[in-house]
Amino acid sequence: MNSHYPPSWYADSAPQLAPLPTLQGNISADVCVVGGGYTGLSTALHLRQLGFSVALLEANRVAWGASGRNGGHVGTGQRADQATLEKMVGHERASRLWQLSLDAVALVEDLCQQFAIDCELGTGNLHLAAKRAHIGELEEEVHHLRQQYGYEHIEFLDQQAVAQRTSAQGVYAGVLDRGARHLHPLKYALGLARAALSLGSDIYEHSRVKHYRTSDQKVIVSTDQGQVRCSYLVLACNGYLGGLENRIAGNIMPINNFMIATEPLSEALADQVNRDRLSLSDTLFVINYWKLSADRRMLFGGGETYSSRFPSDIKNFVRPYMLQLYPELADVAITHGWGGTLGITLNRMPDFGRIDKHTFYAQGFSGHGVPTATFAGKLLASAIHGDCTDFDLMAAVPTRGFPGGTLLRWPGLVAGMLFYSLLDRWGR
């Protein structure tokens, strides 16, 4: 078991990163990055490549947050679909956003290659229609991406073609995206940390930022035991931002999502549930997502909560979602159950921006952070270096704050989420 990580199959299977120091005393750096998930680590890595000195402060251990606990799906596209984006920002900008999403997946792959990150990188995602009514939408989306964007890695599969690839029950069609990837999220995050360290980033663990203040020239960032004096600050805290910066906290809503891991499946059962070792997901509002680990465990995510508490028995909270799709797994032992917190936005597009000329942030990846948060780090670093083109393109996508801001966003959101999750159960 990896110490100081929440118990999960990922923590049990990733090689440990030796503990990093806690910030003590006063230091200076060109840039201080707050948060050691994909956003923060990728920012640090790319800043070092551009020649900036970096101090990254992580409240817990590196990748303690969502980056060490997620489903590991590396999807193409933005979290909002292209037709929605076209309505939101027009065709030309939507096309550029599509290209950035492909660049994000390519970046994940490049980083794994460049820094020899061994994270069980696999290929292909199969997205399944969980309701008959969704078949047409999937078909249309494939047509749209092939015709309008020339994206040829995507294919519509009817129910029979789906059944050849997975024994999932109650699904009606699917979209196979050969451009998508999947990986072991904690191995990937720790690989990014090792890469950032190898390039000379200073990373401090157990160094929670309590507050910061900005003057005309500098930012002073304070933890309990030290301070960083810097020219730029990057906030990369996502669902764990808490009360650190109220000017951006109301743009996102922290929600909890949960996963289980089974004991390793036999080769035959693994082939039955996932012949081609794809990542899989469905079209429900509270999405189910799953894949097999390299040692053939079913890693299954499903179920959400909107309060600060996790269910007391996560294994039995998630298991029914898995059994609805794969009743044949009823006798397979669940060895791990865990949850994590992610930041979502109202329109599911990430929230990039500047608070002032020193302070940048990226958050609200809405369940699409493996590629997008990694890419956000590259764009944050480029923006600090003076090339803001793609950062500004992302920042210009309208994301409205949640009604009620930081204080009153809960009741409206919870009512909305519960309404849509109820729709999941109707009309299948």
Ligand X SMILES: Cc1cc2nc3c(=O)[nH]c(=O)nc-3n(C[C@H](O)[C@H](O)[C@H](O)COP(=O)(O)OP(=O)(O)OC[C@H]3O[C@@H](n4cnc5c(N)ncnc54)[C@H](O)[C@@H]3O)c2cc1C
Q: Select 59 or 397, whichever has its Cβ closest to ligand X.
A: 59
Q: Which of residues 291-320 bind ligand X (CB under 6 A)?
A: 301
Q: Select 4 or 132, whichever has its Cβ closest to ligand X.
A: 4
Q: Which stretch binds ligand X (CB under 6 A): 25-33, 71-79, 121-129, 398-406?
A: 71-79
Q: How far apart (Å, rounded) are the C-alpha atoms in residues 106 and 187?
A: 18
Q: Select 178 or 428, whichever has its Cβ closest to ligand X.
A: 178
| 226: helix, strand or coil | strand
* Closest-approach residue to ligand X (CB): 369
What Å distances lie between residue 335 and 14, 69, 315, 319, CA to CA?
A: 16, 15, 8, 11
Q: Which of residues 43, 58, 86, 360 is near ligand X by CB under 6 A?
A: 58
Least distance in angstroms from the C-beta of 254 to ligand X: 9
Least distance in angstroms from the C-beta of 234 to ligand X: 11
Q: Which stretch binds ligand X (CB under 6 A): 230-238, 324-332, 392-400, 418-426?
A: 230-238
Q: Select 40 or 77, whichever has its Cβ closest to ligand X.
A: 40
Burial of 53 (0-12, 13-18, 19+ CB in 10 A): middle
Which residue, chain included where needed, has tokens 């969980």?
130
Q: Which of residues 96, 144, 153, 208 is near ligand X by CB under 6 A?
A: 208
Q: How far apart (Å, rounded) are the C-alpha atoms in residues 278 and 73?
A: 10
Q: Select 348 or 428, whichever has its Cβ closest to ligand X.
A: 348
Pairing state between β 279-282 and 289-292: antiparallel
Q: Is 274 in the site for ligand X (CB under 6 A)?
A: no
Binding mask 335-374 for ligand X (x = CB under 6 A): -----xxx----------------------x-xxxx--x-
Pairing state between β 359-363 and 226-235: parallel
Q: Select 115 or 159, whichever has its Cβ closest to ligand X.
A: 115
| 3: helix, strand or coil | coil
Q: Select 352 or 365, whichever has its Cβ closest to ligand X.
A: 365
| Count of CB atoms situated within 10 Å of the CB of 403 | 12
Q: List the helix and strand counts (H, then E) for the chain.
A: 13, 17
What Å distances lie between residue 198 and 14, 190, 201, CA to CA?
A: 19, 12, 7
Residue 206: half-sphere exposure toward Cβ, Cα within 13 Å: 9
For the record, the structure tokens of 422 come out as: 């109820």
Q: Which stretch binds ligand X (CB under 6 A): 52-60, 139-147, 261-269, 313-321?
A: 52-60
Q: Which of residues 125-164 bind ligand X (CB under 6 A)?
A: none
What Å distances lie between residue 88 and 101, 265, 349, CA to CA?
A: 16, 44, 11
Burial of 197 (0-12, 13-18, 19+ CB in 10 A): buried
Q: Is 248 in the site for ligand X (CB under 6 A)?
A: no
Q: Of 271, 240, 299, 269, nearest to 60 (Cα)?
A: 240
Phi, psi of 338 (to 5 degrees): -155, 170
Q: Which of residues 13, 67, 125, 251 is near ligand X by CB under 6 A?
A: 67
Q: Which of residues 13, 257, 359, 406 is near ligand X by CB under 6 A?
A: 257
Q: How far apart (Å, rounded) are the C-alpha atoms in residues 154 and 101?
A: 15
Q: Is 240 in the site for ligand X (CB under 6 A)?
A: yes
Q: Select 326 or 365, whichever has its Cβ closest to ligand X.
A: 365
Q: Select 85 or 193, whichever has its Cβ closest to ligand X.
A: 193
Q: Is 289 in the site for ligand X (CB under 6 A)?
A: yes
Number of residues this chain uses to bind ligand X (CB under 6 A): 42
The β-bridge partners of 170 are: none
The β-bridge partners of 127 are: 175, 281
Q: Which of residues 60, 123, 159, 272 is near ligand X by CB under 6 A?
A: 60
Q: Which stretch binds ligand X (CB under 6 A): 110-118, 224-232, 334-342, 409-417?
A: 334-342
Q: Which of residues 14, 43, 65, 138 is near ligand X by CB under 6 A?
A: 65
Buried b (16+ CB within 10 A) or exposed e, 85-113: bbeebeeeebbbbbebbbebbebbeebbe
Q: Select 285 or 327, whichever has its Cβ closest to ligand X.
A: 285
Q: Is 69 in the site for ligand X (CB under 6 A)?
A: yes
Q: Which stretch binds ligand X (CB under 6 A): 58-66, 262-270, 318-326, 352-360?
A: 58-66
Binding residues vs ligand X (CB under 6 A): 34-40, 57-60, 64-67, 69-73, 208-209, 236-241, 244, 257, 259, 289, 301, 340-342, 365, 367-370, 373
